[in-house]
Chain A
Amino acid sequence: MAKKKNTRTVIGTPLTPALLKKLHAFDELPRFKQSDFDPQGNWGITYRIWTCHGYRETGNQNVGFLRIERSSDSSNETFTLDVEQQVVEADGILNIVEAHIKCLNNQLASPVQWELTSGFINTNNNTAASLLTREKGVIEENVMRVERDGRIVKRKVAEHLSCDWCLFEAVPRLEFDKKDLPTFDMLEGLSLLRQDQHLSYRDVYAQKVGAKTANLCKFDQLGRGILPYEYWLDTKHRLLVVTSMNKAYISDVYARQTIKQKTEQLRKSYERMKDARRK
Protein backbone atom coordinates (compact mmCIF):
# COMPACT_ATOMS: atom_id res chain seq x y z
CA MET A 1 0.00 0.00 0.00
CA ALA A 2 1.29 3.43 -0.86
CA LYS A 3 2.43 5.49 2.11
CA LYS A 4 0.04 8.35 2.87
CA LYS A 5 1.64 11.59 1.82
CA ASN A 6 2.10 14.27 4.47
CA THR A 7 -0.11 17.08 3.23
CA ARG A 8 0.68 19.66 5.90
CA THR A 9 1.75 23.04 4.57
CA VAL A 10 3.94 25.34 6.62
CA ILE A 11 2.25 28.76 6.90
CA GLY A 12 5.49 30.68 6.55
CA THR A 13 4.39 34.20 7.56
CA PRO A 14 3.21 35.88 10.79
CA LEU A 15 -0.47 35.95 11.70
CA THR A 16 -2.60 38.86 10.49
CA PRO A 17 -6.40 39.20 10.36
CA ALA A 18 -6.33 38.39 6.65
CA LEU A 19 -4.30 35.24 7.30
CA LEU A 20 -6.57 34.26 10.20
CA LYS A 21 -9.50 34.35 7.83
CA LYS A 22 -7.64 32.11 5.37
CA LEU A 23 -6.92 29.72 8.22
CA HIS A 24 -10.66 29.60 9.05
CA ALA A 25 -10.15 31.18 12.47
CA PHE A 26 -13.32 33.22 11.83
CA ASP A 27 -15.99 33.59 9.18
CA GLU A 28 -15.95 37.37 9.04
CA LEU A 29 -14.74 40.23 11.17
CA PRO A 30 -17.49 41.84 13.24
CA ARG A 31 -18.70 45.16 11.80
CA PHE A 32 -20.24 47.86 13.96
CA LYS A 33 -21.76 51.29 13.67
CA GLN A 34 -19.87 54.14 15.27
CA SER A 35 -22.59 54.69 17.85
CA ASP A 36 -22.10 51.12 19.09
CA PHE A 37 -18.83 51.79 20.77
CA ASP A 38 -17.26 54.39 23.03
CA PRO A 39 -13.85 53.33 24.37
CA GLN A 40 -14.39 55.59 27.40
CA GLY A 41 -17.85 54.23 28.16
CA ASN A 42 -19.30 51.03 29.50
CA TRP A 43 -18.71 48.07 27.27
CA GLY A 44 -18.02 44.33 27.21
CA ILE A 45 -16.19 42.33 24.56
CA THR A 46 -15.53 38.61 24.41
CA TYR A 47 -12.47 37.33 22.57
CA ARG A 48 -12.03 33.76 21.46
CA ILE A 49 -8.47 32.57 22.06
CA TRP A 50 -7.21 30.72 19.04
CA THR A 51 -3.84 29.03 18.64
CA CYS A 52 -1.82 28.15 15.59
CA HIS A 53 0.49 25.18 15.22
CA GLY A 54 2.16 26.70 12.17
CA TYR A 55 0.49 24.54 9.54
CA ARG A 56 -2.44 25.49 7.35
CA GLU A 57 -4.30 22.22 7.63
CA THR A 58 -3.81 20.84 11.15
CA GLY A 59 -3.30 21.66 14.78
CA ASN A 60 -4.99 25.05 14.85
CA GLN A 61 -7.63 25.28 17.54
CA ASN A 62 -9.78 27.36 19.88
CA VAL A 63 -8.42 27.03 23.39
CA GLY A 64 -10.36 29.53 25.44
CA PHE A 65 -11.99 32.90 25.74
CA LEU A 66 -11.33 36.22 27.39
CA ARG A 67 -14.23 38.43 28.45
CA ILE A 68 -13.50 42.03 29.42
CA GLU A 69 -16.14 44.41 30.74
CA ARG A 70 -15.45 48.08 31.35
CA SER A 71 -17.48 50.13 33.82
CA SER A 72 -16.96 53.84 34.25
CA ASP A 73 -16.65 55.19 37.78
CA SER A 74 -18.39 58.27 39.07
CA SER A 75 -15.03 60.03 39.12
CA ASN A 76 -13.25 60.41 35.81
CA GLU A 77 -9.96 59.30 37.38
CA THR A 78 -10.58 55.58 37.56
CA PHE A 79 -12.71 52.84 36.01
CA THR A 80 -13.26 49.15 36.61
CA LEU A 81 -12.51 46.09 34.51
CA ASP A 82 -14.09 42.72 35.10
CA VAL A 83 -12.10 39.98 33.47
CA GLU A 84 -12.99 36.35 32.94
CA GLN A 85 -10.62 34.00 31.15
CA GLN A 86 -11.31 30.33 30.55
CA VAL A 87 -8.70 28.06 29.03
CA VAL A 88 -9.57 24.50 28.11
CA GLU A 89 -6.75 22.00 28.16
CA ALA A 90 -6.16 18.41 27.12
CA ASP A 91 -8.76 15.94 28.44
CA GLY A 92 -11.13 18.80 29.24
CA ILE A 93 -9.48 20.38 32.27
CA LEU A 94 -10.67 23.98 32.51
CA ASN A 95 -8.77 26.84 34.12
CA ILE A 96 -10.94 29.81 35.07
CA VAL A 97 -9.38 33.10 36.08
CA GLU A 98 -11.55 35.99 37.20
CA ALA A 99 -10.35 39.43 38.12
CA HIS A 100 -11.97 42.65 39.28
CA ILE A 101 -9.54 45.48 38.57
CA LYS A 102 -9.65 49.16 39.42
CA CYS A 103 -7.57 51.06 36.87
CA LEU A 104 -6.36 54.60 36.48
CA ASN A 105 -7.85 56.40 33.54
CA ASN A 106 -4.40 56.99 32.03
CA GLN A 107 -2.75 55.92 28.78
CA LEU A 108 -1.88 52.49 30.16
CA ALA A 109 -4.99 51.76 32.22
CA SER A 110 -2.61 51.18 35.13
CA PRO A 111 -4.05 48.77 37.69
CA VAL A 112 -4.23 50.17 41.23
CA GLN A 113 -6.35 47.62 43.05
CA TRP A 114 -7.64 44.16 42.24
CA GLU A 115 -9.01 40.84 43.38
CA LEU A 116 -8.16 37.71 41.42
CA THR A 117 -9.24 34.09 41.68
CA SER A 118 -7.90 31.12 39.76
CA GLY A 119 -9.56 27.72 39.80
CA PHE A 120 -9.61 24.45 37.91
CA ILE A 121 -12.59 22.35 36.85
CA ASN A 122 -11.66 18.71 36.46
CA THR A 123 -12.61 16.34 33.69
CA ASN A 124 -15.52 15.13 35.86
CA ASN A 125 -16.82 18.73 35.99
CA ASN A 126 -15.96 19.11 39.68
CA THR A 127 -13.96 22.01 41.02
CA ALA A 128 -10.48 21.00 42.15
CA ALA A 129 -10.66 22.49 45.66
CA SER A 130 -6.94 22.05 46.23
CA LEU A 131 -6.13 24.22 43.23
CA LEU A 132 -8.24 27.24 44.09
CA THR A 133 -6.35 30.45 44.83
CA ARG A 134 -7.39 33.99 45.68
CA GLU A 135 -5.38 37.14 45.97
CA LYS A 136 -5.80 40.84 46.45
CA GLY A 137 -3.45 43.48 45.19
CA VAL A 138 -2.92 47.19 45.71
CA ILE A 139 -0.42 49.56 44.16
CA GLU A 140 0.42 52.76 45.98
CA GLU A 141 3.39 55.00 45.32
CA ASN A 142 5.05 52.43 43.05
CA VAL A 143 4.84 49.66 45.65
CA MET A 144 2.69 46.64 44.95
CA ARG A 145 1.25 44.78 47.93
CA VAL A 146 -0.29 41.39 47.18
CA GLU A 147 -2.13 39.43 49.85
CA ARG A 148 -2.18 35.67 49.41
CA ASP A 149 -3.43 33.34 52.14
CA GLY A 150 -3.13 36.11 54.73
CA ARG A 151 0.48 36.77 53.80
CA ILE A 152 1.47 40.05 52.21
CA VAL A 153 4.22 40.25 49.61
CA LYS A 154 5.55 43.69 48.69
CA ARG A 155 7.40 44.59 45.54
CA LYS A 156 8.54 47.83 43.95
CA VAL A 157 7.05 48.40 40.51
CA ALA A 158 7.77 50.83 37.70
CA GLU A 159 6.07 54.19 37.56
CA HIS A 160 4.56 53.31 34.19
CA LEU A 161 2.74 50.05 34.65
CA SER A 162 0.01 48.12 32.92
CA CYS A 163 -1.39 44.60 32.75
CA ASP A 164 -2.03 42.46 29.66
CA TRP A 165 -5.80 42.56 30.22
CA CYS A 166 -5.73 46.31 30.92
CA LEU A 167 -4.06 46.92 27.57
CA PHE A 168 -7.19 45.56 25.86
CA GLU A 169 -8.88 48.61 27.36
CA ALA A 170 -6.03 51.09 27.00
CA VAL A 171 -5.15 50.56 23.34
CA PRO A 172 -8.64 51.51 22.01
CA ARG A 173 -8.33 54.87 23.81
CA LEU A 174 -5.03 55.73 22.14
CA GLU A 175 -4.85 58.11 19.21
CA PHE A 176 -3.91 56.70 15.83
CA ASP A 177 -0.68 58.64 15.63
CA LYS A 178 2.99 57.91 16.00
CA LYS A 179 3.59 59.96 19.13
CA ASP A 180 5.99 58.39 21.58
CA LEU A 181 4.39 56.45 24.42
CA PRO A 182 6.27 55.77 27.64
CA THR A 183 8.14 52.52 28.13
CA PHE A 184 6.32 50.52 30.79
CA ASP A 185 6.32 47.28 32.73
CA MET A 186 3.48 44.82 32.34
CA LEU A 187 2.02 42.63 35.07
CA GLU A 188 0.91 39.66 33.05
CA GLY A 189 -2.14 38.08 34.65
CA LEU A 190 -1.63 40.63 37.46
CA SER A 191 1.33 38.61 38.67
CA LEU A 192 4.26 38.07 36.30
CA LEU A 193 6.46 41.04 35.57
CA ARG A 194 7.32 41.71 31.92
CA GLN A 195 9.73 44.61 31.75
CA ASP A 196 10.59 47.28 29.18
CA GLN A 197 7.40 47.15 27.14
CA HIS A 198 6.91 49.60 24.34
CA LEU A 199 3.68 50.28 22.52
CA SER A 200 3.60 52.12 19.23
CA TYR A 201 1.13 52.92 16.51
CA ARG A 202 2.18 51.60 13.09
CA ASP A 203 -0.30 52.42 10.39
CA VAL A 204 -3.58 51.53 8.81
CA TYR A 205 -3.54 48.33 6.77
CA ALA A 206 -5.99 47.06 4.23
CA GLN A 207 -6.82 43.52 5.24
CA LYS A 208 -8.63 41.38 2.72
CA VAL A 209 -10.98 39.31 4.81
CA GLY A 210 -12.81 36.96 2.48
CA ALA A 211 -14.58 38.94 -0.23
CA LYS A 212 -14.34 42.21 1.69
CA THR A 213 -11.45 44.47 2.55
CA ALA A 214 -11.26 46.13 5.96
CA ASN A 215 -9.02 49.02 6.94
CA LEU A 216 -7.47 48.10 10.26
CA CYS A 217 -5.24 50.24 12.43
CA LYS A 218 -2.38 48.49 14.17
CA PHE A 219 -0.43 49.02 17.36
CA ASP A 220 2.61 46.87 18.16
CA GLN A 221 3.91 45.98 21.59
CA LEU A 222 7.48 44.78 22.07
CA GLY A 223 9.28 44.01 25.28
CA ARG A 224 11.01 41.52 27.54
CA GLY A 225 9.38 38.13 28.11
CA ILE A 226 6.81 38.39 25.35
CA LEU A 227 6.65 37.79 21.63
CA PRO A 228 5.41 40.97 19.94
CA TYR A 229 1.70 41.72 20.33
CA GLU A 230 -0.15 43.29 17.42
CA TYR A 231 -3.42 45.06 18.23
CA TRP A 232 -5.76 45.40 15.24
CA LEU A 233 -8.56 47.96 15.56
CA ASP A 234 -11.26 49.21 13.25
CA THR A 235 -11.28 52.88 12.42
CA LYS A 236 -13.76 53.45 15.30
CA HIS A 237 -11.16 52.23 17.78
CA ARG A 238 -12.82 48.92 18.49
CA LEU A 239 -10.20 46.25 19.20
CA LEU A 240 -11.12 43.36 16.92
CA VAL A 241 -8.10 41.09 16.90
CA VAL A 242 -4.90 40.74 18.91
CA THR A 243 -2.15 38.51 17.55
CA SER A 244 1.04 37.45 19.26
CA MET A 245 3.19 34.88 17.50
CA ASN A 246 1.03 31.73 17.44
CA LYS A 247 -1.98 32.95 19.39
CA ALA A 248 -4.82 35.25 18.52
CA TYR A 249 -7.64 36.88 20.46
CA ILE A 250 -10.57 37.29 18.11
CA SER A 251 -13.66 39.32 18.96
CA ASP A 252 -16.47 36.76 18.95
CA VAL A 253 -19.84 36.92 20.71
CA TYR A 254 -20.15 33.12 20.52
CA ALA A 255 -16.76 32.40 22.08
CA ARG A 256 -18.12 31.19 25.44
CA GLN A 257 -20.45 28.75 23.71
CA THR A 258 -17.66 27.49 21.43
CA ILE A 259 -15.41 26.75 24.40
CA LYS A 260 -18.20 25.10 26.37
CA GLN A 261 -18.83 22.73 23.46
CA LYS A 262 -15.15 22.01 23.05
CA THR A 263 -14.77 21.25 26.77
CA GLU A 264 -17.64 18.78 26.62
CA GLN A 265 -16.16 17.10 23.55
CA LEU A 266 -12.77 16.74 25.20
CA ARG A 267 -14.30 15.27 28.33
CA LYS A 268 -16.35 12.76 26.36
CA SER A 269 -13.29 11.76 24.42
CA TYR A 270 -11.34 11.37 27.69
CA GLU A 271 -14.11 9.15 29.14
CA ARG A 272 -14.05 7.02 25.99
CA MET A 273 -10.29 6.61 26.33
CA LYS A 274 -10.66 5.67 29.98
CA ASP A 275 -13.27 3.06 29.07
CA ALA A 276 -11.04 1.67 26.34
CA ARG A 277 -8.16 1.32 28.82
CA ARG A 278 -10.40 -0.49 31.32
CA LYS A 279 -11.39 -3.01 28.62
Chain B
Amino acid sequence: MLDAIDKTLLKTVADLEELPKGAYNIRKNGKLLSRHVSANINIETNADETGIIVKIKPGTKNESVHIPVILSQAGLYDVVYNSFIIGDDAEVTIVAGCGIHCGTSDPEGHAGIHEFKVGKKAKVTYVEKHYASGDGKGRRTLNPTTKVFLAEGAQANMELTQIAGVDEANRVNEAVLGPDSLLLITERVLTDGDQTAVSTNNIVLSGSGSRANMISRSVMKGNSKQTFYATMDAQNKCFGHIECDAIIMDNGTNETMPSLKAGHPDAELTHEASIGKIANDQLTKLMSLGLTYDQAVNRIIQGFLK
Protein backbone atom coordinates (compact mmCIF):
# COMPACT_ATOMS: atom_id res chain seq x y z
CA MET B 1 0.00 0.00 0.00
CA LEU B 2 2.87 2.38 0.84
CA ASP B 3 5.69 2.45 -1.71
CA ALA B 4 9.26 3.58 -1.08
CA ILE B 5 8.61 7.22 -2.04
CA ASP B 6 5.48 7.32 0.15
CA LYS B 7 7.45 5.97 3.08
CA THR B 8 10.22 8.55 2.68
CA LEU B 9 7.69 11.38 2.48
CA LEU B 10 5.76 10.10 5.48
CA LYS B 11 8.91 9.74 7.52
CA THR B 12 9.97 13.30 6.69
CA VAL B 13 6.68 15.10 7.27
CA ALA B 14 5.15 12.99 10.01
CA ASP B 15 8.07 11.02 11.53
CA LEU B 16 6.16 7.87 10.62
CA GLU B 17 8.00 4.69 9.70
CA GLU B 18 4.81 2.68 9.28
CA LEU B 19 1.13 3.30 9.76
CA PRO B 20 0.67 5.16 13.05
CA LYS B 21 -1.04 3.92 16.19
CA GLY B 22 -4.26 5.67 17.14
CA ALA B 23 -6.36 7.77 14.80
CA TYR B 24 -5.01 8.68 11.39
CA ASN B 25 -6.03 9.71 7.91
CA ILE B 26 -3.54 9.45 5.07
CA ARG B 27 -4.32 11.21 1.82
CA LYS B 28 -2.37 10.35 -1.31
CA ASN B 29 -2.69 12.18 -4.64
CA GLY B 30 -6.01 13.73 -3.69
CA LYS B 31 -7.63 10.54 -2.45
CA LEU B 32 -8.05 8.76 0.85
CA LEU B 33 -5.38 6.10 1.21
CA SER B 34 -6.01 4.89 4.71
CA ARG B 35 -8.04 5.87 7.78
CA HIS B 36 -8.36 4.69 11.34
CA VAL B 37 -10.52 6.12 14.10
CA SER B 38 -10.32 5.60 17.85
CA ALA B 39 -12.87 5.54 20.66
CA ASN B 40 -12.37 9.25 21.35
CA ILE B 41 -11.35 10.53 17.95
CA ASN B 42 -13.62 10.32 14.96
CA ILE B 43 -12.62 11.16 11.40
CA GLU B 44 -15.16 11.49 8.63
CA THR B 45 -15.22 12.91 5.12
CA ASN B 46 -17.01 16.26 4.98
CA ALA B 47 -20.33 16.74 3.19
CA ASP B 48 -18.94 18.09 -0.09
CA GLU B 49 -16.10 15.54 -0.02
CA THR B 50 -13.40 18.19 -0.06
CA GLY B 51 -11.72 17.13 3.16
CA ILE B 52 -12.22 15.64 6.59
CA ILE B 53 -13.81 16.51 9.90
CA VAL B 54 -11.87 15.38 12.94
CA LYS B 55 -13.87 15.36 16.15
CA ILE B 56 -12.19 14.90 19.48
CA LYS B 57 -14.46 14.03 22.38
CA PRO B 58 -14.47 16.32 25.41
CA GLY B 59 -12.02 15.22 28.08
CA THR B 60 -9.88 13.07 25.76
CA LYS B 61 -6.32 12.97 27.17
CA ASN B 62 -2.92 12.29 25.61
CA GLU B 63 -4.14 11.07 22.25
CA SER B 64 -2.83 11.95 18.85
CA VAL B 65 -4.10 12.18 15.29
CA HIS B 66 -1.91 11.90 12.21
CA ILE B 67 -3.23 13.38 8.98
CA PRO B 68 -0.37 13.46 6.46
CA VAL B 69 -0.83 14.22 2.77
CA ILE B 70 1.52 12.86 0.14
CA LEU B 71 1.70 13.83 -3.50
CA SER B 72 3.63 12.12 -6.25
CA GLN B 73 1.29 12.48 -9.22
CA ALA B 74 2.51 14.89 -11.90
CA GLY B 75 0.30 17.86 -12.70
CA LEU B 76 -1.93 17.51 -9.62
CA TYR B 77 -2.93 20.48 -7.46
CA ASP B 78 -4.69 19.06 -4.43
CA VAL B 79 -6.89 21.32 -2.29
CA VAL B 80 -8.25 20.06 1.00
CA TYR B 81 -10.50 21.58 3.67
CA ASN B 82 -10.06 19.97 7.07
CA SER B 83 -11.92 20.84 10.26
CA PHE B 84 -10.87 19.94 13.77
CA ILE B 85 -13.39 20.15 16.56
CA ILE B 86 -11.67 19.71 19.87
CA GLY B 87 -14.02 19.10 22.80
CA ASP B 88 -13.81 20.90 26.12
CA ASP B 89 -10.92 19.85 28.40
CA ALA B 90 -9.41 17.56 25.75
CA GLU B 91 -5.63 17.36 25.30
CA VAL B 92 -4.53 16.22 21.90
CA THR B 93 -1.66 16.34 19.42
CA ILE B 94 -2.40 16.68 15.73
CA VAL B 95 0.39 15.88 13.31
CA ALA B 96 -0.20 17.12 9.78
CA GLY B 97 2.22 17.58 6.96
CA CYS B 98 2.57 17.45 3.25
CA GLY B 99 5.28 15.77 1.29
CA ILE B 100 5.57 16.31 -2.44
CA HIS B 101 7.69 14.14 -4.66
CA CYS B 102 8.06 15.65 -8.08
CA GLY B 103 9.56 13.37 -10.69
CA THR B 104 8.55 15.19 -13.87
CA SER B 105 8.46 18.70 -15.30
CA ASP B 106 4.75 19.13 -14.50
CA PRO B 107 3.91 21.23 -11.47
CA GLU B 108 2.50 19.72 -8.28
CA GLY B 109 0.90 21.44 -5.37
CA HIS B 110 -1.19 21.22 -2.27
CA ALA B 111 -3.31 23.71 -0.39
CA GLY B 112 -4.49 22.61 3.03
CA ILE B 113 -7.04 24.78 4.77
CA HIS B 114 -7.19 23.71 8.39
CA GLU B 115 -9.77 25.10 10.76
CA PHE B 116 -9.53 24.46 14.51
CA LYS B 117 -12.32 24.99 16.98
CA VAL B 118 -10.73 24.47 20.35
CA GLY B 119 -13.19 23.99 23.22
CA LYS B 120 -13.07 25.43 26.71
CA LYS B 121 -9.84 24.64 28.55
CA ALA B 122 -8.83 22.21 25.80
CA LYS B 123 -5.18 22.01 24.75
CA VAL B 124 -4.08 21.24 21.23
CA THR B 125 -0.60 20.86 19.83
CA TYR B 126 -0.53 21.09 16.07
CA VAL B 127 2.62 20.04 14.21
CA GLU B 128 2.80 20.70 10.49
CA LYS B 129 5.78 19.98 8.27
CA HIS B 130 6.08 20.75 4.60
CA TYR B 131 8.67 19.22 2.38
CA ALA B 132 9.24 18.59 -1.30
CA SER B 133 11.73 16.35 -3.09
CA GLY B 134 12.39 14.69 -6.42
CA ASP B 135 14.51 15.26 -9.50
CA GLY B 136 11.69 16.69 -11.66
CA LYS B 137 11.76 20.32 -12.73
CA GLY B 138 8.03 20.91 -12.09
CA ARG B 139 7.22 23.71 -9.66
CA ARG B 140 6.19 22.54 -6.21
CA THR B 141 3.70 24.76 -4.47
CA LEU B 142 2.46 24.46 -0.90
CA ASN B 143 -0.12 26.92 0.38
CA PRO B 144 -1.21 26.05 3.92
CA THR B 145 -3.84 28.00 5.80
CA THR B 146 -4.70 27.60 9.47
CA LYS B 147 -7.67 29.23 11.18
CA VAL B 148 -7.80 28.85 14.94
CA PHE B 149 -10.69 29.71 17.24
CA LEU B 150 -9.89 29.41 20.92
CA ALA B 151 -12.74 29.21 23.44
CA GLU B 152 -12.35 30.38 27.03
CA GLY B 153 -9.17 29.05 28.63
CA ALA B 154 -8.19 27.04 25.54
CA GLN B 155 -4.56 26.63 24.46
CA ALA B 156 -3.07 26.00 21.05
CA ASN B 157 0.58 25.36 20.32
CA MET B 158 1.22 25.50 16.59
CA GLU B 159 4.54 24.33 15.17
CA LEU B 160 4.67 25.08 11.49
CA THR B 161 7.69 24.10 9.45
CA GLN B 162 8.63 24.28 5.80
CA ILE B 163 11.81 22.29 5.53
CA ALA B 164 13.07 22.26 1.96
CA GLY B 165 12.32 21.94 -1.71
CA VAL B 166 9.16 24.07 -1.87
CA ASP B 167 9.35 26.50 -4.82
CA GLU B 168 6.45 28.67 -3.85
CA ALA B 169 4.53 29.00 -0.62
CA ASN B 170 1.75 31.30 0.41
CA ARG B 171 1.21 30.64 4.07
CA VAL B 172 -1.69 32.08 6.04
CA ASN B 173 -2.38 31.78 9.76
CA GLU B 174 -5.42 33.34 11.36
CA ALA B 175 -6.54 33.13 14.96
CA VAL B 176 -9.23 34.54 17.20
CA LEU B 177 -8.57 34.21 20.92
CA GLY B 178 -11.31 33.96 23.52
CA PRO B 179 -11.01 34.94 27.20
CA ASP B 180 -7.91 33.61 29.05
CA SER B 181 -6.85 31.58 26.04
CA LEU B 182 -3.24 31.08 24.94
CA LEU B 183 -1.81 30.79 21.44
CA LEU B 184 1.80 29.95 20.64
CA ILE B 185 2.84 29.87 17.01
CA THR B 186 6.35 28.92 15.94
CA GLU B 187 6.94 29.08 12.22
CA ARG B 188 10.18 27.97 10.62
CA VAL B 189 10.79 28.42 6.94
CA LEU B 190 13.90 27.56 4.94
CA THR B 191 14.12 28.63 1.29
CA ASP B 192 16.89 28.14 -1.25
CA GLY B 193 17.57 28.73 -4.95
CA ASP B 194 14.86 30.89 -6.51
CA GLN B 195 12.16 29.82 -4.04
CA THR B 196 9.71 32.32 -2.57
CA ALA B 197 7.61 32.14 0.58
CA VAL B 198 5.09 34.58 1.95
CA SER B 199 3.71 34.16 5.45
CA THR B 200 0.71 36.21 6.52
CA ASN B 201 -0.46 36.06 10.13
CA ASN B 202 -3.48 37.75 11.63
CA ILE B 203 -4.04 37.19 15.32
CA VAL B 204 -7.04 38.77 16.99
CA LEU B 205 -6.85 38.96 20.79
CA SER B 206 -10.54 39.22 21.41
CA GLY B 207 -11.07 37.89 24.94
CA SER B 208 -9.97 39.43 28.22
CA GLY B 209 -6.77 37.84 29.54
CA SER B 210 -5.87 36.24 26.22
CA ARG B 211 -2.21 35.81 25.36
CA ALA B 212 -0.43 35.18 22.06
CA ASN B 213 3.20 34.67 21.14
CA MET B 214 4.25 34.39 17.51
CA ILE B 215 7.80 33.30 16.77
CA SER B 216 9.07 33.28 13.20
CA ARG B 217 12.46 31.95 12.13
CA SER B 218 13.41 32.37 8.49
CA VAL B 219 16.52 31.33 6.59
CA MET B 220 17.04 32.50 3.02
CA LYS B 221 19.73 30.72 1.02
CA GLY B 222 20.64 31.18 -2.66
CA ASN B 223 18.51 33.87 -4.32
CA SER B 224 15.39 32.97 -2.38
CA LYS B 225 12.97 35.50 -0.97
CA GLN B 226 10.69 35.50 2.06
CA THR B 227 8.09 37.99 3.14
CA PHE B 228 6.59 37.95 6.62
CA TYR B 229 3.53 39.83 7.76
CA ALA B 230 2.20 39.51 11.30
CA THR B 231 -0.56 41.53 12.88
CA MET B 232 -1.63 41.35 16.51
CA ASP B 233 -4.97 43.01 16.92
CA ALA B 234 -5.75 43.56 20.62
CA GLN B 235 -9.39 44.18 21.37
CA ASN B 236 -9.32 43.54 25.09
CA LYS B 237 -7.02 43.40 28.11
CA CYS B 238 -4.45 40.97 26.73
CA PHE B 239 -0.80 40.29 26.01
CA GLY B 240 0.73 39.76 22.58
CA HIS B 241 4.29 39.37 21.37
CA ILE B 242 5.82 38.90 17.92
CA GLU B 243 9.42 37.74 17.53
CA CYS B 244 10.66 37.43 13.97
CA ASP B 245 14.26 36.65 13.09
CA ALA B 246 15.59 36.19 9.60
CA ILE B 247 19.04 34.94 8.65
CA ILE B 248 20.27 35.89 5.21
CA MET B 249 22.75 33.63 3.48
CA ASP B 250 24.16 34.05 -0.03
CA ASN B 251 21.91 36.56 -1.89
CA GLY B 252 18.63 35.86 -0.13
CA THR B 253 16.23 38.71 0.58
CA ASN B 254 13.64 39.30 3.26
CA GLU B 255 10.89 41.69 4.14
CA THR B 256 9.44 41.58 7.64
CA MET B 257 6.43 43.58 8.73
CA PRO B 258 5.24 43.04 12.28
CA SER B 259 2.25 45.16 13.13
CA LEU B 260 0.60 45.85 16.48
CA LYS B 261 -2.86 47.27 16.95
CA ALA B 262 -4.13 48.18 20.39
CA GLY B 263 -7.87 48.75 20.49
CA HIS B 264 -8.07 48.57 24.28
CA PRO B 265 -6.28 50.67 26.93
CA ASP B 266 -5.09 47.55 28.83
CA ALA B 267 -3.59 45.84 25.80
CA GLU B 268 0.11 45.02 26.07
CA LEU B 269 1.80 44.37 22.76
CA THR B 270 5.49 44.00 21.95
CA HIS B 271 7.56 42.91 19.01
CA GLU B 272 11.18 42.30 18.14
CA ALA B 273 12.44 41.78 14.64
CA SER B 274 15.86 41.20 13.21
CA ILE B 275 17.24 40.51 9.75
CA GLY B 276 20.89 39.88 9.06
CA LYS B 277 23.72 37.48 8.42
CA ILE B 278 24.81 34.99 11.05
CA ALA B 279 26.41 36.91 13.92
CA ASN B 280 30.18 36.83 13.80
CA ASP B 281 30.58 36.12 17.51
CA GLN B 282 28.50 32.94 17.10
CA LEU B 283 30.73 31.70 14.26
CA THR B 284 33.92 32.58 16.14
CA LYS B 285 32.70 30.77 19.24
CA LEU B 286 31.91 27.53 17.43
CA MET B 287 35.17 27.70 15.45
CA SER B 288 37.04 28.11 18.74
CA LEU B 289 35.42 24.81 19.78
CA GLY B 290 36.92 23.14 16.71
CA LEU B 291 34.26 23.45 14.00
CA THR B 292 35.24 24.70 10.55
CA TYR B 293 33.55 27.81 9.20
CA ASP B 294 31.07 25.76 7.14
CA GLN B 295 30.33 23.37 10.01
CA ALA B 296 29.71 26.35 12.30
CA VAL B 297 27.29 27.91 9.78
CA ASN B 298 25.37 24.63 9.48
CA ARG B 299 25.20 24.13 13.23
CA ILE B 300 23.90 27.65 13.84
CA ILE B 301 21.21 27.30 11.14
CA GLN B 302 20.25 23.86 12.46
CA GLY B 303 19.74 25.30 15.96
CA PHE B 304 17.93 28.37 14.65
CA LEU B 305 15.40 26.21 12.80
CA LYS B 306 15.18 23.50 15.48
Q: Please determine whether chains A and B interact with each other in the same assembly.
A: no
Q: Residues of B at under 8 Å CB distance from A?
A: none
Interface residues of chain A, those whose CB is within 8 Å of chain B, are none
